[in-house]
């Protein structure tokens, strides 16, 4: 198993642990606002107008008004901290961009107004083969193969010069200016933001788990408020 593969495995393990703790914490907050008169679980179907139904409404409000805002604020802090780090100009992110979408799918998404796809297709073109992509970042391609992740398309930017400079730096799109804006992206060791990613990873995993968990709760409570 490559170093990159094992670090991704460790990340998954860490995520599972953080996820379990976050479930407990969110459930605790739900229980804290549970009226004493209510018997039952937050996912139960209570009759309209009952205390149980009001509790569920209060929980949904807590998700939207409190927890979502806390997550957003924390993500902003994570991104603001990124400003303390700098791109080292290794050009890996210009030389190898991966997507679960094929060139045709990205083109379609761009035509349908997807802003990210529009920017992406304005600069990136597909590699002719996986072998070409492998030359840029062999460890990463190996890790995808080890994980049997076959549905990945590899792209590169032709605006990159032979000496790894952006030939259109002033006009580069926002996705280039913002990279890496997802702290959970896999970054090469040469990336100037690698340390940022490592430092904020536990917080990011926790925020990510909160988002997943409240989404689950919302889906399973909102169904009682649809009529
Ligand atoms: S436009 Fe410039 S910064 Fe953006 S991917 Fe291409 S070479 Fe890199
Ligand atoms: S991978 Fe990181 S250091 Fe390398 S060019 Fe991209 S942002 Fe800069």
pLDDT of 29-85, one tens digit each? 999 999 999 999 999 999 999 999 999 999 999 999 999 999 999 999 999 999 999
| Residue 97: burial class (beta carbons within 10 Å; 0-12, 13-18, 19+) | buried
Q: Which ligand is nearest to the CA of 159?
A: 1
pLDDT at 11: 82
The response to whether residue 168 sits with its C-beta less than 6 Å from ligand 1 reads yes
**Ligand number with the minimum distance to the CA of 87:** 2
Q: Tens digit of pLDDT for each residue in 99-134?
A: 999 999 999 999 999 999 999 999 999 999 989 999
Binning pLDDT at 50, 70 and 90, where does residue 205 land?
Answer: very high
Query: From the CB of 191, is ligand 2 less than 6 Å away?
Result: yes
Q: Are residues 78 and 108 in the same domain?
A: no
**Per-residue pLDDT, 1:** 60
| pTM as predicted | 0.82
Q: Is the CB of 184 under 6 A from ligand 1?
A: no
What is the best residue among 87, 95, 183, 186 to mutate for testing ligand 2's pocket, by most ligand atoms within 8 Å of CB? 87
- In Å, how far are 16, 164, 171 from 191, measured between CA atoms? 26, 14, 22
**pLDDT band per the 50, 70, 90 thresholds, residue 10:** confident
Radius of gyration (C-alpha) of the chain in whole angstroms:
22
Closest residue by Cα to atom 6, ligand 2, is 93
Q: What angle do CA 98, 101, 104 make, to 5 degrees?
A: 120
Q: Is the domain of 155 the same as that of 103?
A: yes
Both 153 and 210 in one domain: the answer is no
Alpha-carbon gap, residue 178 to 166, rounded angstroms: 15
Q: Whose CA is nearest to atom 2 of ligand 2?
A: 191
Residue 2: which pLDDT band, with cuts at 50, 70 and 90? low
How far apart (Å, rounded) are the C-alpha atoms in residues 160 and 168? 8
In terms of residue numbers, what domain contains 39?
3-85+200-225
103 plus 157 within the same structural domain: yes
For residues 103 and 77, state if they share a domain: no
pLDDT value at position 68? 94
Give the nearest ligand 2 atom to 88 CA. Answer: 3
More confident residue, 114 or 139: 114
The domain total for the chain is 2
Rounded CA-CA distance 190/91 in Å is 9
Quick one: 126 and 177 in the same domain?
A: yes
The C-alpha atoms of residue 208 and residue 210 are separated, in whole angstroms, by: 5
The angle, 0 to 180 degrees and rounded to 10, between the axes of the packed helices 194-222 and 3-32 is 40
- Residue 144 is predicted with a pLDDT of 83
Cα 226 from Cα 220, distance rounded (Å):
11
| 134 and 174 fall within a common domain | yes
Same structural domain for residues 103 and 188?
yes
Structure-block tokens of residue 218: 């919302």
User: Do 207 and 186 share a structural domain?
Assistant: no
The reply to whether 213 and 183 lie within a common domain is no
Same domain for 106 and 131? yes
Quick one: tokens of 150?
């076959």
In whole angstroms, give the CA distance from residue 214 to residue 217: 5
Model confidence band, residue 14 (pLDDT cutoffs 50, 70, 90): confident
Same structural domain, 188 and 208 = no
Eight-class DSSP state of 156: E
Name every residue whose Cβ is closer than 8 Å to that of residue 201 and which is 6 or more positions away in sequence: 11, 14, 183, 184
């Amino acid at each position: 198993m490559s170093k990159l593969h094992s670090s991704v495995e460790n990340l998954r393990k860490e995520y599972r642990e953080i996820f379990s703790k976050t479930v407990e914490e969110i459930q605790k907050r739900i229980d804290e606002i549970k009226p004493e008169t209510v018997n039952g679980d937050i996912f139960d179907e209570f009759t309209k107008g009952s205390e149980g139904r009001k509790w569920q409404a209060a929980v949904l409000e807590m998700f939207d008004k409190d927890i979502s805002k806390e997550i957003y604020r924390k993500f902003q802090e994570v991104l603001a901290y990124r400003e303390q780090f700098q791109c080292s100009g290794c050009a890996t992110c210009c030389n190898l961009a991966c997507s679960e979408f094929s060139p045709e799918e990205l083109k379609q998404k761009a035509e349908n107004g997807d802003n990210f796809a529009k920017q992406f297709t304005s600069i990136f073109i597909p590699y002719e083969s996986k072998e070409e992509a492998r030359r840029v970042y062999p460890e990463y391609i190996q890790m995808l193969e080890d994980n049997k992740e076959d549905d990945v398309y590899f792209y590169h930017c032709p605006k990159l010069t032979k000496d790894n400079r952006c030939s259109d730096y002033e006009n580069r799109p926002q996705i280039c200016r913002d990279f890496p804006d997802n702290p959970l992206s896999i970054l090469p060791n040469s990336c100037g933001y690698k340390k940022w990613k490592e430092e904020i990873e536990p917080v990011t995993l926790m925020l990510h788990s909160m988002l997943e968990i409240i989404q689950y709760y919302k889906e399973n409570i909102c169904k009682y408020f649809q009529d």
